[in-house]
A and B are shown apart, each in its own frame.
Chain A
């Protein structure tokens, strides 16, 4: 255990403390965040592409909406599965406490799912004009839907690692990264070269910015708070999550950035797709590590 406040002179050793169990939010919450990033991210990308490259994506309205719909349902299902009293979920809507990010998130995600259902219907009916109007509001709502988890993490006063401005940036970047990656896979050959280039740029820049933020926290976080220093020890040296942390950073950020450059140089779609797959899978690993490590620290 990293505890840089331990003095050799005191040699203090805990000899009796039954600390309450550590991991409170398990991998179910990782899936929750991961699926939500994809669900909101593809909506951002569809909105952007319809403005920048309408010809390329005019036939992707339904497929993209279905991917978003499925992702948001996975997100809600895993949220429900993580509750210890899932059949009381309705309490959130009846006894809502507006100081809680969970309450806000539940309402916004429900409305978001409603809009996605409407979009799917409109896309099925090929009512593109109304679809695009509803898509605007869906894309706007996708911003707080993807951000609320950052607010929730910030409300976890016990977990010093999760600071609000940083987590908000990471949530948005996770959405643009996974959204562009998913869109590259959804669009496939239907996408024009220009559209692929745009998605590659979004994916690469999201990866770059998210990587810079993680590295900044990794290097400078310990200089600000002792709890952050102690938590980051779990991903340093022979810490329990060191391998997983670096695997995530390479898969999600470093390799996709390199592969996107390579795909542009070689005009290769397969390398672009490989970058997209790596980013999508890697994001789950990155999120999982960041979720787990603050939970390993004894609170008492």
Chain B
């Protein structure tokens, strides 16, 4: 079994339902995120458009975070999920430095690394990840990539050439795919980040590990 995710960006409407569901399900502390929906505005007024991209851990087949972790706190489950054992983590932040997708953070409460686990605890009880359940338009498709009859496999078969991953050049082989993505949605270097141009400008982030 190899679990994977696919997000159809044509369907995503940026409601952040998945983000909130993840926060609640996994008790993700303030100023940290396992799953974020990134907004990028494209075009020049009045010809403008807003794109939405949910970003989470890609559960890479060749995961740099798992490789660099000195104590195997990051490890593979049999179903392909890259899981984390917070009791074992020493907080060296090597994984945060290694992940090319910025998917890992240091939990300010436990002072250990944390990230999306595809809701491994729910999956173990045959439930769908919280974000999948919360999505009102079924933009998040989750399932077994090794089973050709699973929803995700069928979706990939139908969309074939339109299926992309983030930063394929890193050789990580993500198990997280996007349909309807493009340079702007998937490449962080393809858009400006202008000071004061965030929708919520008062958002603050804690320094790594917390405590202002």
Contacts and interface: CB of A to CB of B under 8 A. Distances in A.
Contact of B68 (A15, A16, A101): A101
B162 interface: no
Do most interface residues of chain B lie in helix, strand or loop, or is the interface mixed?
loop
B33 A15 contact: no
Contacts of A12: 40-42, 184, 190-192
Contacts of A167: none
Contact of A95 (B88, B91, B170): B88
Given A83-B90, A103-B70, A15 B41 contact: yes
Interface stretch (A21-29, A191-199, A211-219): A21-29
Contact of B208 (A18, A24, A85, A99): A24
B190 A3 contact: yes
Interface string A30-61: 00000000000000000000000000000000
A246 to B, nearest CB: 25
Contact of A10 (B42, B172, B197, B205): B42
Contacts of B184: 10, 12
A17 B38 contact: yes
B64 A13 contact: no
A102 B98 contact: no
A83 to B, nearest CB: 5
A5 B102 CA distance: 20
A269 interface: no
Interface residues on A, range: 35 or more
A263 to B, nearest CB: 40
Contacts of A299: 99-102, 188
Contacts of B188: 297-300
A158 B100 contact: yes
Interface string A71-95: 0000000000011111011011001
Contacts of B98: 155-158
B94 interface: yes
B105 interface: yes
Given A6-B192, A13-B40, A16-B198, A88 B91 contact: yes
A20 B188 CA distance: 13
A98 to B, nearest CB: 9
A125 interface: no
B12 to A, nearest CB: 13
Given A13-B197, A158-B102, 8 more contacts: A13-B41, A14-B38, A16-B198, A17-B40, A19-B102, A25-B93, A82-B92, A158-B98
Interface of B: 32-33, 36-44, 50, 55, 64, 66-72, 88-94, 96-106, 111-112, 170-172, 183-184, 187-194, 197-200, 203, 205-209
Give the 4 A-B residue pairs with the shortest CB-CB distance, closest first: A84-B91, A299-B102, A12-B191, A157-B64
10 contacts: A5-B187, A6-B190, A83-B92, A85-B111, A86-B91, A91-B90, A95-B72, A157-B99, A157-B100, A300-B101
